[in-house]
A and B are shown apart, each in its own frame.
Chain A
Amino acid sequence: MIEIKDLHAKVEGKPILKGLSLSIKPGEVHAIMGPNGSGKSTLSAVLAGRSDYEVTSGSVTFFGKDLFEMSVEERACAGLMLAFQYPVEIPGVKNVYLLKAALNAQRKARGEPEIEAPTFMKLVREKLKFMKIDNSFLHRAVNEGFSGGEKKRNEILQMLILEPKLVLLDEIDSGLDIDALKVVSEGVNSLRDAGRSFLMITHYQRLLDYIEPDFVHVLSDGQIIKTGDKSLALELEDRGYDWVVEETA
């Protein structure tokens, strides 16, 4: 589904990713862990298409296409979705408007007709219920005045409605209490299937108790230095990162 080969990227002239390679196949759930400053968030930003990150070499193909040839919105329409660590507040744009505009933009890109209003509302209500979000939420401006937990739930709600093929979850667990984490994880798990993949970026093993990964990667100084299964995450929780760094040095 996505092939990342020897990716190098800079932020403000400073190299952050230094030869990262990763391959994700349909249906797989990958977790990337690593200490602060290792390049975790840079990876998700580069994949989603943020302009303040400069790719200096390497390649990424998404369903066989060069990802860097695609605009931000083209990536989204092709099925890539970034669930933000810090979702932005957008005063004046209602949630319902965002959801409908995004869904229709993606349908249009796929050559499908716009969704009928009643069908759309039925879909949205069903997903709201699943995410334990009140209907009044639709009339509120996107993330404006939302708590950290509400913002993350909103990200997952968008995911449930847009049904992306590859989801990048950037520290989706940060700032969540256990109850919110459960709701968010259930949302993610409900979408797991043989055709959909996830790349989770996280500091903590805790998230992986709720969303079980097939692979765990350790990112350090812009490279993946170790890959294992979920037992690696437990080991990292126990022993920290230093031993991996030393082992591979």
Chain B
Amino acid sequence: MKHYAQVFEAFNQGADDGWLKSQRIAAFARFEHLGFPTPAIEYWKYTDTKALAKRDFKLATDYDQQAAQQLMADKGLQLDAYQLVFVDGLLCKELSNLEGIQDAVVIEPLSQALATELELTSGMMGRLAGIDVDVFTALNFAFVSEGVVVRVGNNQKVDKPLLVTYLSTATEEAVMSHPRILIAAGASSELQLIEHFIGAEEAKNFTNRVVEGVMERNAKIHHTLLQQPSDKEWWVGRIQIEQKRDSRYTSHQMNLGGKLVRDDLVCDLNGTGAECDFAGLLFGRNRQHMDIHTLVNHNAPLTNSFETYKTIMNDRASGVFNSMVIVKKDSQKIQAVQNNANLLLSDQALINAKPELEIYADDVKCAHGATTGQLDMDALFFLRSRGIGEEEARGLLTLAFANEVIDKLELPAIYNLVETAVAGQLPHKIELDLIQ
């Protein structure tokens, strides 16, 4: 804590007096007041942040340009997209490219938006993910300086996906970053957002990112999160979405890396006809710990939520899946489906799965279920009896388990990345066009 106070003081001292500075001070006070969560708090029951709390992280002031470029070349997605790249929390202009954005769409780095459009930006920041939401959200606000602002005008469909890549490099001293993405999606607008977190093998940094998105009537956001920090890294994320009438938010969360991962996703379905659809995969190995929490508030009638989450834990990895759906008193005729299946690949792996429902309306359709199991030994024997090596057969069956989720990934570059991460080097996929 003392360390954070020192870093914070040095960080905020240089800032200009004004809205942001005072907000940061309030946020840091909130963080100090709450402290790092312990398992005594129900919301953090299965995730212990003690080891994280002990570490001292610095704020990066510079980064190795060559290392960043190499990391991007090795692991970055090859996509035709508007691109913003951050390295250890700092904007990397050389790797970013926002050329050709249509007139009624604004995509810019948060630092730029804070400098040039403070009023507009401050109105977006902390509205959904304020300092009272969670201690890490408060911490993010205290140190917020970089990120992305997206404003999509009414009836605008952003013509290319927005790819935000966060590179985490192997630094001498571990660094922390607190990026924040602010989205204002106009009525009947459409946005595809892809976030890709990449950690260098020896990186041991702490990333704490927050996304806030307000969706106007009939807006659509398709959000993909590819999370691949190194297995020595700490990663905390929160997404808060407010949905107005008939809006639709889809999320694909692929948690594939990190030493300790906590991922929170919250949707407030505030308008009739609003719908959210979450699919997620947690894939843990070695001693990784991954925790995903989702919360859907059905605050209006005729709203729908769908969730499909799969977790795969190998070695001594542990996973947490907790999904909460709350149906308000007057939210009649809603539909909520929570599906969760878990695969344990070793005897020492662990999963805590808890789908929860709180229903205060009487005319609703809700279903939830969670299953946990191991690979089917008969299926494994069958594949091996056809000549397929044991490792490959395990990979195939593991992939088959994850398929329900990763089949939803429409872009081949993303699908391949996740497939490789889950199943290792399987033989090349059959070209589908040959089989008609």
Q: Check A49–B392 contact: CB distance below 8 A.
A: no
Q: What is the chain A residue whose CB lies nearest that of B404?
A: A92
* Segment among B44-52, B206-214, B395-403 that sits at the interface with chain A: B395-403
Are the CB atoms of A104 and B384 closer together than 8 Å?
Answer: no
Scoring B residues 384 to 417 as 1 if CB is less than 8 Å from chain A, else 0, what string do you get? Answer: 1111111011001101110110000000000000
Looking at B77-85, B94-102, B223-231, B428-436, the stretch in contact with chain A turns out to be B428-436
Q: For B385, give its contact among A81, A118, A141 (CB under 8 Å).
A: A81
> Which residue of B has the minimal Cβ distance to A105?
B387
Contact B400–A90 (Cβ < 8 Å): yes
In the complex, the chain B residue whose C-beta lies closest to that of A107 is: B387
**What's the Cα separation between A138 and B432 when bound, in Å?**
11
> Chain A contact residues (Cβ within 8 angstroms of B): what range?
35 or more
A121 engages B427 (CB within 8 Å): no
CA–CA, A98 and B393, complex, Å: 10
Whether B400 contacts A93 by the Cβ 8 Å rule is yes
A185 to B141, CA, bound (A): 72
B: contact size bracket: 20 to 34
Q: Is the CB of B378 within 8 A of A88?
A: yes
A138 nearest CB neighbor, chain B only: B435
**Chain A hits for B386, CB < 8 A:** 76, 81, 98, 101-102, 105, 158, 162
Q: Say whether B388 contacts A105, CB under 8 Å.
A: yes
Asked if B403 contacts A73 (CB within 8 A), the reply is no
**Residues in chain A near residue B426, CB distance under 8 A:** 101
Asked if A96 and B430 make an inter-chain contact with CB atoms under 8 angstroms apart, the answer reads yes
Residues of chain A contacted by B383 (CB below 8 angstroms): 90, 93, 98, 101-102
Residue of B nearest to A90 (CB): B379
Of B387, B389, B397, B434, the residue contacting A90 (CB under 8 A) is B397
**Contacts A71-B390, A121-B434, A162-B386 supplied; 20 other A-B pairs, CB < 8 Å:** A49-B385, A51-B381, A72-B385, A73-B387, A73-B389, A75-B385, A76-B384, A77-B387, A82-B385, A90-B382, A92-B397, A92-B401, A93-B400, A96-B435, A98-B383, A101-B427, A105-B388, A109-B387, A135-B435, A142-B382
Residues of A with Cβ closer than 8 Å to B? 48-51, 71-73, 75-77, 81-82, 84, 87-93, 96-98, 100-102, 104-106, 109, 114, 117-118, 121, 135, 138-139, 141-142, 158, 162
Residues of B within 8 A of A (CB): 376, 378-379, 381-390, 392-393, 396-397, 399-401, 403-404, 426-427, 430-431, 434-436
